[in-house]
Structure 1
Amino acid sequence: MSSQEHEATAPVGVGILGAGPVTQAIHLPSLARLRDILEVRHVMDVDPAVAESVAARVGARFGTSMEELLADPAVEIVAICSPHQFHAAQVIAACRAGKKAVLCEKPFAMNGEEAAAISAVSAETGVPIIVGAMHTFDPGWLAAEAAWGTLPAQVHTVRSSIVLPPNPRFEDFATEIVGRTPPPARDTTDGEAVRAMLTGGVMGLAIHDLPLVRRFTPDFADVAVLHAETVEPFGYVISLRAGATTIELRAAMNGTWEPSWTFEAIGDDAALSIDFTPSYVHAGSATARIRTQHSTTVLGPYGHNGYEGEWRRLAGIARGTETAPDAETLIHDLEFALAIAAAAASAGSAARGAKAPQETRA
């Protein structure tokens, strides 16, 4: 076998920045099912014990230095799974290191300026970026996109509804977690705490579905939040308009016995509903249903979920057999999420001190 043939068939090397629960319970199991095309070769975490423990599971190098990982020639794809505030700087550094592709967990930036800087560096270096909004890579969603015809033009209502137990329940089912940090306690009667919870809910949970929402709301510049409130112990209820489309975002994380993650887009003559598997459950794809007055088309479930789908896409990008998502789309998805988060936080905190609901524009 020639060196070129070997390069085309050998697994693509992966380096991971941040070895927390998402890496341990989601990405490593996904990558374990793709060992013929992807191989974890370097794991970095600021906690050396966590880095060593997680790397040992896959026989990879470990360390506490981002620079050392980026300088490792065995690393061809970089996955950024660190806390949000480090994402932009690490994406830019990975691009400048000349890697073949970068996966960044959502959100890939915390404001428009960071997003613009990332886009500029990606264009300058030619390094493509994928953002880890996994539902956009789910085979059930992709099959629905290919089959729904004129549905986006007629949709008037979009709903995202999420009911889940706290993440540790699924994390502990998936793997043995090391180095878990307990979430901070919040006073839900405090206006600033409400703002933080609504911002975190949108940017940490709703953001998985917001790229799907935006598929049906091309006129997203004028976002009006009609109502926003938190749900105990953690969750949100947000009602908004984007252009002529009504959007409902609901989530509750509690001790529920039956997790549910659904997405709906309802039009005049047709409707789409999708049942997604919870993030930490490695149980195949979503199931989509497209309904009209005369028929129901069921799509899925397929053999893998969106997390595995994004890794398959990354491997194809690294090998030059697939194209990367459009950078402008990623930026608009982020701007949409930031606008909703800011307006929901403002409306939610204002409602704590006012009797009448307020409309807040982004």
Structure 2
Amino acid sequence: MVYGVGIVGAGPGVAALHLPTAARLGEEFAVVHISDGGSGRAAALAARVGARHSSGVDELLADPRVDVVAICSPPEQHAEQILAAVQAGVRGILCEKPLAMTTADAENVIDACRGAGVALIVGTNHLFDDAWGRTKHHLVAVGGPVQTVSVSMSLAPNGRYHADVTDDPPVLAQRGGAPDLQDPAVAAQIVRRLMIGLAIHDLPLLRDLAPGFPVDGEVVYARAIAPIGLCVGYRSGGVLVHLAAVMHQDGADTLWRLGISTSEDRVEVDFPPPFVHAGSAAVRVRAANGRWTTYTRTEQDGYLQEWRALADLLDSGEAIEYEEILDDARYAIALADAAAELVREGGAR
């Protein structure tokens, strides 16, 4: 069966990622409707694939050809639009990260999807990358406990992320110039938004490696980094985790690396740059004797695999991991809230 897809949102991610991915999965999905928030961009994107276009969500959700909705709108709109899609009777939803901005909204969304039996995938594409499956298999096979984890992100500026972290009070007061990172309220907002909007790519992975937060853990340090970035360290489940991210016009080439140190070896996962189809992440392992082993990459990237995961749920009728999705959201939101609070308090314990 080919499922009709309605895409809510018409930004760069839709143009560069979701439309090409749906085209590669033409035996499973066909984009039939694209809506925007009033920008007018949906018309041009829809013309590329012969789909209808509209503004808002009402017309798209009323389209009888729409079986599946991809929610690619700003994060604050995700929870409300998921609930509207469930109410409209769609069969499946792929929601870009994050699922919701608050724990209460995440719980409401999961309750609604579970009650209606709607297949749900959150587009944390690193979680669906084949390399992450190989990494977990290696960690289980070696058996050495995880001791430390680091995530390093050096990215070119991205207008969407910049808007996400600077468009609400108190940062609005800084419009026209760089955010005042000396203002604890401004710095705290930037850290929370980047945790939920950018670091969220890897937080489900970190929940696998360092589970238990916030019950079994605490944020140790947190600060915002100029011009837009963060540095956060926390303990969870006996594992020390360090997160660093910066978006800088004159920075180094894109780097997105997950490093895992166990009692036996060191694993490094280098993810491709965002917004490109470049195959799976690269995984290499440094043994105690200093020898490096590199795993073979695949052509399939996480963006493709998340859509395939949705197709599998729709085709098979298998149980949907609602609790796992909810626990991922709880972990991310609790961590973002704790990091932001520590920034407001001065940045370190």
Secondary structure (helix, strand or coil) at the match of 1:215 reads helix
Match of 1:236 among 186, 208, 230: 230
Q: Is the 8 A contact 2:286 2:293 kept in 1?
A: yes
Question: What is aligned with 2:150?
Answer: 159
Q: Provide, for residues 130-171 of structure 1, a one-character-per-residue CA deviation record: whole Å limited to 9, x for no partner.
A: 1111101111112222333255760010111111111259xx
Amino acid at match of 2:59: E
Q: Aligned pair 1:148/2:139, yes or no?
A: yes
Q: Aligned pair 1:330/2:320, yes or no?
A: no
| Residue 48 of structure 1, CA deviation | 5.7
**Structure 2: runs of 5+ lacking an equivalent:** 168-174
| Residue 35 of structure 1, CA deviation | 2.7
Secondary structure (helix, strand or coil) at the match of 2:26 reads coil
Q: Is the 8 A contact 2:34 2:54 kept in 1?
A: yes
Provide the C-alpha distance between the structure 2 equivalents of 1:23 and 1:48, rounded to a whole number of angstroms: 14
Question: What is aligned with 1:313?
Answer: 309
Secondary structure (helix, strand or coil) at the match of 1:47 reads coil
**Structure 1: runs of 5+ lacking an equivalent:** 1-6, 170-179, 352-356
Question: What is aligned with 1:345?
Answer: 340
Match of 2:296 among 300, 303, 316: 300
Q: Is the 8 A contact 2:154 2:252 kept in 1?
A: no
Secondary structure (helix, strand or coil) at the match of 2:99 reads coil
Q: Is the 8 A contact 2:165 2:190 kept in 1?
A: no
Question: What is aligned with 1:30?
Answer: 21
Match of 2:108 among 101, 105, 117: 117
**CA gap 1:234/1:152 in 2 versus in 1, 3 angstroms:** farther
Amino acid at match of 1:99: V
Match of 1:133 among 124, 141, 144: 124
Provide the C-alpha distance between the structure 1 equivalents of 2:165 and 2:262, rounded to a whole number of angstroms: 42
Question: What is aligned with 1:4?
Answer: none
Match of 1:211 among 191, 198, 204: 204
**CA gap 1:273/1:124 in 2 versus in 1, 3 angstroms:** same
Moved more, 270-279 or 20-29: 20-29
Question: What is aligned with 2:279?
Answer: 284
Amino acid at match of 2:343: G
Provide the C-alpha distance between the structure 1 equivalents of 2:115 and 2:259, rounded to a whole number of angstroms: 38
Match of 2:41 among 18, 33, 50: 50
Q: Is the 8 A contact 1:81 1:104 kept in 2?
A: yes
Between the two proteins, what is the percent identity of the paired residues?
37
Query: CA RMSD, aligned part only?
Result: 2.3
Q: Is the 8 A contact 1:223 1:339 kept in 2?
A: no
| Residue 203 of structure 1, CA deviation | 0.6
Secondary structure (helix, strand or coil) at the match of 1:281 reads coil
| Residue 296 of structure 1, CA deviation | 4.7
Secondary structure (helix, strand or coil) at the match of 1:149 reads helix
**CA gap 1:48/1:162 in 2 versus in 1, 3 angstroms:** closer
| Residue 297 of structure 1, CA deviation | 4.2
Q: Provide, for residues 22-47 of structure 1, a one-character-per-residue CA deviation record: whole Å limited to 9, x for no partner.
A: 21222223223323332111001121
Q: Is the 8 A contact 1:160 1:262 kept in 2?
A: yes
**CA gap 1:75/1:206 in 2 versus in 1, 3 angstroms:** same
Question: What is aligned with 2:58?
Answer: 67
Q: Is the 8 A contact 2:101 2:196 kept in 1?
A: no
Provide the C-alpha distance between the structure 2 equivalents of 1:181 and 1:201, rounded to a whole number of angstroms: 8
**CA gap 1:182/1:289 in 2 versus in 1, 3 angstroms:** closer
Question: What is aligned with 1:251?
Answer: 245
TM-score for both structures, normalised by structure 2: 0.89
Amino acid at match of 2:300: H
Secondary structure (helix, strand or coil) at the match of 2:140 reads coil
**CA gap 1:163/1:101 in 2 versus in 1, 3 angstroms:** same
Provide the C-alpha distance between the structure 2 equivalents of 1:327 and 1:64, rounded to a whole number of angstroms: 30
Provide the C-alpha distance between the structure 2 equivalents of 1:204 and 1:198, rounded to a whole number of angstroms: 10
**CA gap 1:317/1:224 in 2 versus in 1, 3 angstroms:** same
Provide the C-alpha distance between the structure 2 equivalents of 1:13 and 1:153, rounded to a whole number of angstroms: 46
| Residue 182 of structure 1, CA deviation | 11
Secondary structure (helix, strand or coil) at the match of 1:211 reads helix
| Residue 335 of structure 1, CA deviation | 1.2
**CA gap 1:95/1:152 in 2 versus in 1, 3 angstroms:** farther
**CA gap 1:31/1:324 in 2 versus in 1, 3 angstroms:** farther
Q: Is the 8 A contact 1:77 1:318 kept in 2?
A: no
TM-score for both structures, normalised by structure 1: 0.86
Provide the C-alpha distance between the structure 1 equivalents of 2:143 and 2:84, rounded to a whole number of angstroms: 37
Amino acid at match of 2:11: G
